Amino acid sequence: MKFHCERDVLDRAFSTARRAVSGRSGSHPVLSGLHLELTGNCLVVTGSDGDLTIRVEAEVGGKKDGSVVLSAQLASDIVRSLDAGQVEFSAGDDGATLVAGRSDFSLRTMPTDEYPRFEEPGGDSVNLDAVMVADALDQVVKAASLDDARPILTGVLMAAEEDGLRFVATDSYRLAVRDLPGTEILGRDQTVLVPSRALDAVGRVLDDASGLTIRLGDRDASFTIDDVQIVTRLIEGEFPNYRGLIPDSHPNALVVNRVAFLEAVRRVGIMARDATPVRLTMSADGLELVAITQDVGQGRETVDAEYSGSDLTVAFNPEYLLDGLEVSPGDEVRLETVDSLKPAVLRSVGNDHFLYLLMPVRVS
């Protein structure tokens, strides 16, 4: 095969498809590679780990059709390192070459017949607002677990609600819930569990997308964003009863400027070393944040806030608290609490579409 294109075109295709390639290819070393297929002027670059597949179409100057599998890491790193401008790519029985300016690289290739065949997923397709979904994924995906020992928690629940679609994720320490009113993609009471890794890849591509098409099958899901298609196997199993985690009522409520709160947590959190939490003391006088690390020091800051309820001190993991504050919309947030041990709920004032639940840290 042989083609030429701009470095940036190849860099985007390689770096996007590479997100599906796992560092643990195991008994299938060919999955550590990117599959390139050229037909006319259309280059399709595919990366896969067997569960997640990302395909990117790119328009190039095609000279000779063909296919090849290259090391994903090497090919991506080489292309990214090249100077901007034209790249000449060719591949044959003896390997592949990339030439750009004064740079000339030769790469060993892997057997194309060992690379798994791509199968289009089934199911009906639905078009969604790309900006709205990107915003929802940014709010929810980070709350999913990264621990493969509990695969259910590594997924994001997509559930049909009466007024639209809901995204839910939890790692058992925090819970994020985002509603998309008026968005219908699932049948009544239907749910699917999508790997957070796949939705993270979707969110990265959605940044500059013009549209999003979702297709849900019985065992897989497909997300098409312009010239990128992301296909993933769904997670089988029962998602936890997250509704039971959300307290029915909160006797205490703190209303505070979101940015002021976020910056205070970020500053005081500098002193929260070795898993030290940040303590929030809430009273009619406002909000005080304190972090104390033995043999290191302490940080303290006060923030103007409105508080109703009994005086209360509650401690949180500062990183988890920051994650919720960073993605909460609006100028003001409301932190609702029951006591120092029960889950707290962070909401945006005037926006009920996003909820972030946080488990407190027990302190002496």
CA distance 271 to 289: 11
Q: Are 159 and 177 in contact (CB under 8 A)?
A: no
Average pLDDT over residues 11-20: 96
| C-alpha distances in Å from residue 300, one per residue of 16, 35, 155 | 43, 54, 37
β-strand 344-348 against 351-358: which pairing, if any?
antiparallel
Question: How many percent of the chain have pLDDT more than 90?
Answer: 77
Give the pLDDT score at 201: 95
**What is the band of 93 on the pLDDT scale with cuts at 50, 70, 90?**
confident
Average pLDDT over residues 226-247: 93
Better-predicted residue by pLDDT, 333 or 50:
333
Average pLDDT over the chain reads 93
DSSP states along 52-116: EEEEEEEE-EEEE-EEEEEEHHHHHHHHHHSPSSEEEEEEETTEEEEEETTEEEEE-EE-GGGSP
The b/e string for 154-192 (b: 16+ C-beta within 10 A; e otherwise) is bbbbbbbeeeebbbbbbbeebbbbbbbeebebbeeeeeb
SS3 sequence of 135-168: HHHHHHHHHCCCCCCCHHHHEEEEEEECCEEEEE
Tell which residue, 58, 67, 33, has the closest CA to residue 47.
33
**What is the band of 262 on the pLDDT scale with cuts at 50, 70, 90?**
very high
Domains of the chain: 2-114 (3.10.150.10), 125-243 (3.10.150.10), 247-358 (3.10.150.10)
Average pLDDT over residues 198-221: 89
Half-sphere exposure of 193 (CA within 13 A, CB side): 14
β-strand partners of 357: 175, 345
Give the pLDDT score at 128: 87
Average pLDDT over residues 222-244: 94
Give the pLDDT score at 160: 85
Can you give the pTM of this predicted structure?
Answer: 0.90
Tell which residue, 323, 322, 289, has the closest CA to residue 304.
289
**What is the band of 121 on the pLDDT scale with cuts at 50, 70, 90?**
confident
**What is the band of 161 on the pLDDT scale with cuts at 50, 70, 90?**
confident
Give the pLDDT score at 27: 59
Read off the amino acid at residue 12. R
| C-alpha distances in Å from residue 62, one per residue of 3, 54, 142, 202 | 4, 22, 40, 28
* pLDDT tens string 191-208: 899 999 999 999 999 987
